[in-house]
Amino acid sequence: MNPIELGPIEIARGVHWIGALDPDLREFDIILKTANGTTYNAYCVRGSDGVAVIDTVKENRAADFFARLEQVAAYDEIKAIVLNHLEPDHTGALPELMRRAPNARLYISIKAQIMLKGLLKSEELVYTPARTGDTVSLGDRHLRFLHTPFLHWPDTQCTWLEEDGILFSGDVFGCHYCDPRLFNDKVGDFRFSFEYYYQHIMRPFREHVLDALELIEPLALNLIAPAHGPILRDAPANYVRRYRQLAEPTLYNEAGGHAKTLLVFYLSSYGNTARMAQAVRDGAEAIDGVRVSVYDLQGGEVAPFVDLVEEADGIVFGSPTINGDAVKPVWDLLSSLTMVNVKEKLGAAFGSYGWSGEAVTMLEDRMRGLKLRVPVKGVRVKLIPTEAELSLCHAFGRDLALHLTGQATRKVITMEELNRSQTHA
Ligand code: FEO
């Protein structure tokens, strides 16, 4: 079927899908692959006292959206426009919709207000900020808001149609998968896309997913209407359960939460950084309550290490400096950590070098950029570590363990302090 010919689809009595299909898209936001394109789902809810439009579509699909909307409602009937999320794939048609529907009031989450001004470039916007529990009456139907921030932007919320048990969930429970048959019991197998979307979009905000599930799990769900991908009318609670599973820790923690976990990742050309890694390990292990693990990045894949880091309390990178840089496998792992939440984990770096030794500082900077705390200045050793230098590494490991166990005065080294110390060295 030509996607443009698809009309509005009734998903419940008086509730229509009026979104847009984008079957040829292969990359979303530069970072996500999609073998099946995507959909920008928007919905129209008719009540006895007015109509609500929930979300819009990407700007280049606005014509499809308006064509579908006009088949189920007149613009002057629209009393509420709800935006669950302000990213442009859902707000591209908003300015034009507000122009065409002058009687409509705009509802956004309390955290979306600044973004809305940035999006519409106007200080004179009229809107209602919504909190969890706030409602909009359409007469015989009511929309209730659930504040679900950081899924996956600070502004995100879900909207619950009380009388029908429909959750308009925004990006949550969505995926990039376009199939004009629309419903999860009709479309092809989209499980891989659902999981991929979770891993890349929701996983970094795992704690917020768990908070949102506390609000969503008690709902008597008849249907989940996400902003992308299939509409989940068959067994919607299964998708909520799957989110719960995905948001729980990936790995069984043998330390049982009693010990702090410190991971030491290293690479070594001539065994020098490896010897430093062993000394760091020995130093950290000297402190009770810390479980230290050492991994040679040369022998590992990135994905399981990312799982390990997600559960760890601290990570230490050992890298030689080659051509003024840390080595690629270290950067590969660091760049993959954007998939998980590493904020406030302890970070540190060390390494042997030949003549310049920039790697340690570069790694520390990157970890600060990822919002790790870097409380102990890294250790750099020129070429082969002496016994005295290995003792420094041992003390460095010990310091890290003391910070992890809360026995050291917490001190986060700032960029200014770091620059000062390097200038005076
Ligand atoms: Fe589908 Fe985060 O926008």
What pLDDT digit, counting tens, does each position of 394-425 carry?
Answer: 999 999 999 999 998 655 555 555 555 444 43
For atom 3 of ligand 1, the residue with the nearest CA is 87
Give the pLDDT mean for 271-295.
Answer: 96
Residue 113 CA to ligand 1 centre (angstroms): 17
Residue 129 CA to ligand 1 centre (angstroms): 19
Q: Which CATH class is domain 3-247?
A: alpha beta
Residue 7 CA to ligand 1 centre (angstroms): 23
Which of 218, 216, 296, 219 lies closest to 263 in space, CA to CA? 296
DSSP string, 328-384: HHHHHHHHHGGGS--TT-EEEEEEEESS---HHHHHHHHHHHTT-B--S--EEEESS
Residue 55 CA to ligand 1 centre (angstroms): 11
Give the atom of ligand 1 at the shortest distance from the alpha carbon of 88.
3
How far, CA to CA in Å, does 193 sit from each of 84, 186, 187? 21, 16, 12
For atom 2 of ligand 1, the residue with the nearest CA is 87
Residue 335 CA to ligand 1 centre (angstroms): 22
Cis peptide before 152 (omega within 30 of 0): yes
Q: Which fold has domain 252-424?
A: Rossmann fold (3.40.50)
CB of 89 sitting under 6 A from ligand 1? yes
Cα separation of 84 and 159, whole Å?
7
CB of 68 sitting under 6 A from ligand 1? no
For residue 245, the one-letter residue type is Q
CB of 87 sitting under 6 A from ligand 1? yes
CB of 176 sitting under 6 A from ligand 1? no
Q: What is the chain's mean pLDDT, rounded?
A: 92
CB of 228 sitting under 6 A from ligand 1? yes
pLDDT at 422: 47
pLDDT tens digits, 319-342: 999 999 999 999 999 999 998 999
Helix pair 206-216, 236-247: axis angle to 10 deg? 150
Q: What is the pTM of this model?
A: 0.83
Give the atom of ligand 1 at the shortest distance from the alpha carbon of 40.
1
Give the atom of ligand 1 at the shortest distance from the alpha carbon of 170.
1
CB of 85 sitting under 6 A from ligand 1? yes
CB of 155 sitting under 6 A from ligand 1? no
Q: Where are the alpha helices (DSSP H) in 231-316?
A: 236-247, 272-285, 302-311
Which residues, in sequence order, are bridge partners of residue 339?
none
Residue 33 CA to ligand 1 centre (angstroms): 14
CB of 227 sitting under 6 A from ligand 1? yes
pLDDT for residue 250 is more than 90? no
Where does residue 25 rank: exposed (0-12), middle (13-18), buried (19+ CB within 10 A)? middle
Radius of gyration of the chain (CA): 26
pLDDT at 258: 80
pLDDT tens digits, 82-105: 999 999 999 999 999 999 999 999
Residue 89 CA to ligand 1 centre (angstroms): 6
Residue 115 CA to ligand 1 centre (angstroms): 14
CB of 171 sitting under 6 A from ligand 1? yes
Residue 172 CA to ligand 1 centre (angstroms): 9
pLDDT tens digits, 29-72: 877 899 999 999 999 999 999 999 999 999 999 999 999 999 99
Give the pLDDT mean for 227-242.
Answer: 98
Cα separation of 296 and 360, whole Å?
17
Residue 158 CA to ligand 1 centre (angstroms): 13
CB of 90 sitting under 6 A from ligand 1? yes
Residue 170 CA to ligand 1 centre (angstroms): 8
Among the residue ranges 5-9, 184-188, 312-316, the one predicted with the least confidence is 5-9
Give the atom of ligand 1 at the shortest distance from the alpha carbon of 171.
1
| pLDDT over 90 percentage in the chain | 84
Per-domain residue ranges of the chain: 3-247, 252-424
